[in-house]
Structure 1
Amino acid sequence: MSGQALARIEGVLEDAGGFDLLAPEGTRYRVDVTESVFDPGNPLLAEYVAGRRVVAFIGPTVHRLYGDRLRAYLDARLTPGSWSVQVIETGERNKTLASVEQVCAVAKATGLDRHGVMLAVGGGIVADVVGFAASMYARGIRYIKVNTTLVGQVDVGVGVKTGVNALHSKNMFGAYHPAHASINDPALLATLPPREIRCGLAEIVKMAVILDGDLFRTLERHPDAFLGAADGEVETYILRTSMRLMMEELCPNLREHELARLVDFGHTFSPVIETAGGHRLEHGEAVAVDIALSAHIARLLGLADAQTCERIVTLLRRIGLPVFDADTCTEELMTQALQASWQRRGRKLHLVVPTGVGKATFVSELEDLPADVLREALRALAAEGGAR
């Protein structure tokens, strides 16, 4: 699709090579889906760099798997001396302002100018840290994401938010800074451990529950997708549908001027589950617990029937995700989570709950969620033996 045609059509346009987004407020960006991104015969990444200086940031595990290929690609495609590769620490404990400052310090030490590019190669944490650094460095420079995890390809990699944890809160500091390019190579998922695949599937379940019954039913038929139990065609459908749904939902409200967002499903209780548990659960696992708890709340409020609730919780379990965590799923902590979300969302709760498979609504006010409903929802999950 040409830029001229794109300029006339707000929304998300899909083609064989990926997705273009043009938001009503004028922001546009593209998410590419490609094969063999680090093969020197693939010009995509080099074309986005377009002769600029580059500092690539990569986590230790991804560096071990793909570092040599990344260097070989940059060596073959870019001008000698115009690029460097820096390994940075990953994990939620390193998603901090200190890490952002370190990225900026490396960029400055390597002579990265305002026309330069930061390249983030990794999962969501690398993208968040490097993206936030790029939004700050020299008052904002380009950055490119090569998303190597399932969460990165269907969630972080298709949006414009960057951020780090601070003040005992997830993503307290951040910026809306669209990437110059965001590249997804599905083949990179083959080296992910099962736990990381399941975390990505939690974000896909999120989108299926709120927006797409067909996607949900596909996941019910293939709960082991991306773990060697589904064919490539099914996985391609799951990946591309998830990317498209996320981009379509983000597009009209890209910078979150409206604080009631369906894509916040699974993200009301999960920040406290993560932080209070010392990040013992991965982000996707905490999201899964949140989804299960929200499904039970919907059932108890009469917004969803028992079968819908059961299907959601059963799918999460079949995937291998936790649906309860005894240490953090306490009435006190989950009430704190509600209060924190209420404050963050402009003193409105905006809790997203399912009303059916592929449909959702909001519980907008704190008083619309009585304490006894939260208590009973937690009790129901605990009684089902949800702790993993």
Structure 2
Amino acid sequence: MSQQKPKNNVMLIISIMFGYALTYMDKNMIAAAIIPMEAELGLSASQSGLLMSMFFIGYTVMQFPSGWLSDKIGPKKVLLISIGTILVATLFFGLVSALILLMVIRLIAGLGHAGVPISSAKVVANTIQPKQKMFVQSLILSTSGIGGILAFTLGSTLINMNWRYAYFGLALLFAVSILMIFFFFPKEKKDPNAEQKKKEDKISISVVFKDKNVFILFAALLFLNIVLYGYLSWLPSLYEADFGFDLKGISMILGINAILMSVGALSSSFIVDKVFKGKDKRFALTGIILCGLACITFAIADSLVVSIIMMFIFTLTSNAVYVTLFSWPHKLIRREVIGSSIAIINMGSTIGGFLSPTITGYLISAFGGNYNVAFIAMGISAFVCGFVILLVRTKPVKTGEYKFN
């Protein structure tokens, strides 16, 4: 994709942000929808955890194919196919009742979700100026909070009526996202350097697999996402079980929490540049340590006020660290193979997302419905993530565009 004018970039980024926000609305909404689903379908905590985890099997399977396709056929086609797949899966999720069918549909939804962050990152790599890439990437990732707000406001309102209505409404929003991509996404023109790129493609896979940072970031995001998806999956159930909150009260707290997800994401690039003076690793380590401490304090606190404060702290820090880690490939990896590289890195996120609800659901069941032990496990996972971050090799990409500390 050739570089676009700034005005065109604005509409392109808005289109991506809308689709990205909807994927996070889907990821967040299942945590609220699972409460009436359990009551209607008679699901146990382990079954609910397995249902939520099926999404991440599909997400993981399609990571590398989506990255490879983004490099080969272009991010627009991958984005359209991905969101179209999610639309169909979301619609059918609201139509069926059998647990096995719900699991299959969530798996298919995961297949579609896999292409969205990868194709979005490919767009950033192709169209945005080097100095603006981390900010634009953080801007796109900040829509995770917007998705959360939609999930716990619009989504929860529909769930209170009937959880199936929420998924019908979400399918309609995905249809709008597809239209926005058609109207606002620039056409992918034939690249005059296609022959040269073909030569680069012959070595692209080997370049990706020889880069140790790809696999270090893979591991870091795996352990970080055990925290991110663990608390997204079980916070509503914990507040219902431990503090007697109804869905309306839970939605209010989680709506505020979703705003902080965006704040954490948006503030990361500013804090790295202005406070930590470009020392990305030091910022990431500080954030993940605070996140781990907040998770454990959250688990052992009996006070509702303390638990809410700790929830807000680990939301801010975990999302800031996530954006920092996800932005590093733009500084450490060659643009020509950014799609394939991010596919492998993001696979760590999806494996962590798959393991988290399953492991935490098992721990909750094994300890007699005690959610606190699951959040202690998340805190430990955050500390492991910090250790992995220490291993990142901070060096500029071969083009010499970046200086990385």
Same fold (TM over 0.5): no
TM-score (norm 1): 0.25
TM-score (norm 2): 0.24
Q: Which has the higher contact order (CA 8 A, sep 6+)?
A: 2
Bigger helix share: 2
